[in-house]
């Protein structure tokens, strides 16, 4: 088969339509077009056409992923799930993830660090909640253990819980619930448990908060 026409696509100027023996055959990105040195008059076999289509699918997938991670960092599993949802094969998804991991554009350890730092800064959370959220995003449990130990050691868990309790108290301090000590304590306790702090930590944080208020 011979390439008889290469035409820029109207809807996407970064892609070209390839005609073989006078009939449209397939489209490719500029990256694949240049890499394969395609030109009018070049003879290509059906096997080469298949390879070009696979290469184009991989290149398109990579470009999609680059836009996807441009919005915010993603884990390897998030990217794999995204590509499969978009109709790409598992083989292409694995290849893209491996390539971007090698380039350090995907780094689950760094993702976990940034995720935890943001949560602890913007909306204090306990290690239990952080662990659940990271597991949901596909971060491996050993990495989660390392990051949580690094960023939220046991010694600082009560301080983080006290911060969360203080912020929540500021929200409810003028409500009727705040006038009843038992109701206020329960609301604070329930809030901290929802934020992923364990029983002992929540209890200590609330005691610390109420002690400071009474002083």
Name the residue among 135, 152, 141 with its Cα closest to residue 201.
152
Tokens linked to 127: 């290690």
- Give the chain's domain count: 3
* Token pair recorded at residue 19: 């005609």
31 and 94 share one domain: yes
Residue 198 and residue 118 share a domain: no
pTM: 0.69
Where does a domain end: 84, 102, 120?
A: 102
Burial track 164-197 (b if 16+ CB lie within 10 A, e otherwise): bbbebbeeeeeeeeeeeeeebbebbbebbbebbb
Same domain assignment for residues 16 and 58: yes
Continuous segment of H or E residues that includes residue 4: strand 3-8
32/115 same-domain check: no
pLDDT in tens, the chain (215 residues): 889 988 888 888 888 998 999 889 988 888 888 888 888 999 988 999 899 988 999 989 999 999 999 999 999 999 999 999 999 999 999 999 999 999 999 999 999 999 988 887 777 778 888 898 999 999 999 999 999 888 765 557 777 787 777 787 777 767 665 566 677 777 888 888 887 887 887 877 787 777 765 54
- Are residue 7 and residue 97 in the same domain, yes or no? yes
Distance (Å, rounded) from C-alpha 7 to C-alpha 82?
30
Backbone dihedral region for residue 29 (phi beyond 0: left; psi -120 to 50: alpha; all else: beta):
beta
DSSP string for residues in 15-81:
EEEEEETTEEEEEEEHHHHHHTT--TT-B--HHHHHHHHHHHHHHHHHHHHHHHHHHS---HHHHHH
Pair 148, 70 in one domain: no
Same-domain check for residues 46 and 76: yes
pLDDT at 212: 60
Q: Please tell me the predicted confidence (pLDDT) of residue 215.
A: 47
CATH of the domain at 38: 1.10.10.10
Q: Which residues pair with 6 in a beta bridge?
A: 18
Same domain, 83 and 10: yes
Do 147 and 172 share a domain, yes or no? no
Domain hosting 122: range is: 107-152
Q: Please tell me whether residues 21 and 84 are part of one structural domain.
A: yes
**119 and 84 co-located in one domain:** no
64 with 138, same domain: the answer is: no
Phi, psi of 27 (to 5 degrees): -115, 150
CATH number at residue 127: 1.10.10
Asked if 75 and 111 count as a contact pair (C-beta separation under 8 A), the reply is yes
72/88 Cα distance (integer angstroms): 21
């Amino acid at each position: 088969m011979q390439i008889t026409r290469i035409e820029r696509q109207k809807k996407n100027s970064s892609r070209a339509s390839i005609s073989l023996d006078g009939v449209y055959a397939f489209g490719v990105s500029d990256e694949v077009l240049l890499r394969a040195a395609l030109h009018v008059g070049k003879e290509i076999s059906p096997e080469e056409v298949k390879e070009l289509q696979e290469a184009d699918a991989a290149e398109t997938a990579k470009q999609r992923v680059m836009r996807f991670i441009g919005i915010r960092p993603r884990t390897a599993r998030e990217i794999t799930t995204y590509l499969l949802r978009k109709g790409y094969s598992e083989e292409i998804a694995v290849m893209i993830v491996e390539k971007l991991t090698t380039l350090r554009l995907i780094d689950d350890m760094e993702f976990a660090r940034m995720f935890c730092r943001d949560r602890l800064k913007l909306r204090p959370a306990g290690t239990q909640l952080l662990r659940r959220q990271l597991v949901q995003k596909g971060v491996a449990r050993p990495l989660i253990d390392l990051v949580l130990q690094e960023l939220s050691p046991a010694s600082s868990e009560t301080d983080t819980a006290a911060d969360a309790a203080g912020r929540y108290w500021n929200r409810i301090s003028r409500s009727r619930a705040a006038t009843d000590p038992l109701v206020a304590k329960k609301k604070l306790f329930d809030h901290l448990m929802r934020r992923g702090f364990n029983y002992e930590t929540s209890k200590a944080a609330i005691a610390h908060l109420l002690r400071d208020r009474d002083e």
